[in-house]
């Protein structure tokens, strides 16, 4: 499921519409310090649903919008689109090409789209769940992440292995089912109380 293209406009240092096309194989991005290399991987993570502004080196999510320079006024919208070649159906969708778009406005409201159709953050998360990519996956290894994995607790390392092995989705489904069971059990207790009161 190669990421074939990335379109960025108004995200961090990318004030102008910018398209990066990735050829098969390895792509290297080189540039001087502060030229925006990390902003590219952050744009990818953000479009996949990153919810932590701090994880993107900001205080609030609208900080990802181009903040302006001495020569250019700030913008009010950031938009990132990831284009995946999905002919191998690695992502759970029947389309051969998948365009994932995220927009954010100055008021902080984010919008998500799959193939130009508005969707929820949850839909983006389930699209990537157990695909091996995603905002929490290990397809994007940022500076310091390797040390963080080695130094993490055994439980956290286990969840990394589960995510990689593709069992994470079943754990999420199990947790949801257990919550529903608990809810139903609470309701039954309430019914039993009422029945006792009536008797
Ligand atoms: P290094 O090689 O030092 O790691 P880099 O090439 O990875 O650098 P980035 O960290 O991606 O560079 O980019 C930093 C640049 O992005 C800085 O010049 C910073 O001013 C700019 N930048 C970050 N957020 C915004 C924003 N919201 N608006 C405008 N520019 C921004």
pLDDT (tens, 9 = 90+) of the chain, 199 residues, equals: 689 999 999 999 999 999 999 998 888 999 999 999 999 999 999 999 988 888 888 999 999 999 999 999 999 999 999 999 999 998 888 999 999 999 999 998 899 999 999 999 999 988 887 677 766 666 777 777 778 788 889 988 887 777 767 777 788 889 999 999 999 999 999 999 999 999 8
3-state helix, strand, coil in the chain (%, to 5): 40, 20, 40
Residues with CB under 6 A from ligand 1: 12-13, 31, 33-39, 63, 65-67
Domain map (residue ranges) of the chain? 3-135, 169-199
The residues that bridge with 8 in the sheet, in sequence order, are 18, 80
- Known binding-site positions for ATP: 32-39
**How far, in Å, from the CA of 138 to the mean position of ligand 1?**
23
Q: Is 190 buried (19+), middle (13-18) or exposed (0-12) by CB count in 10 A?
A: exposed
Query: Which ligand 1 atom lies nearest to the CA of residue 58?
Result: 24
Q: Decide yes or no: CATH 3.30.70.1150 for domain 3-135.
A: no
Query: Which ligand 1 atom lies nearest to the CA of residue 31?
Result: 6
pTM score, two decimals? 0.79
**How far, in Å, from the CA of 115 to the mean position of ligand 1?**
29
């Amino acid at each position: 499921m190669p990421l074939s293209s990335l379109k960025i406009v108004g995200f961090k240092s990318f004030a102008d519409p910018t398209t990066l096309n990735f050829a098969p194989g390895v792509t290297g991005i080189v540039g001087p310090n502060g030229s925006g290399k990390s902003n590219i991987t952050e744009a990818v993570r953000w479009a996949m649903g990153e919810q932590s502004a701090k994880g993107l080196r900001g205080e609030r999510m609208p900080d990802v919008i181009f903040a302006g320079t001495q020569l250019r006024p700030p913008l009010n919208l950031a938009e990132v689109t990831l284009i995946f070649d999905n002919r191998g159906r690695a992502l759970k969708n029947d389309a051969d090409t998948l365009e994932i778009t995220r927009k954010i406005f100055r008021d902080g409201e984010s919008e998500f789209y799959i193939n130009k159709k508005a969707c929820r953050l949850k839909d983006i998360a389930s699209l990537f769940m157990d695909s091996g990519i995603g905002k929490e996956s290990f397809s994007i290894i940022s500076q310091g992440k390797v040390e963080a994995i080695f130094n993490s607790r055994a439980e956290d390392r286990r969840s990394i292995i589960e995510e990689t092995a593709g069992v994470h989705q079943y754990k999420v489904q199990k947790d949801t089912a257990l919550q529903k069971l608990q809810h139903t059990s609470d309701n039954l207790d309430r019914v039993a109380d009422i029945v006792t009161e009536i008797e």
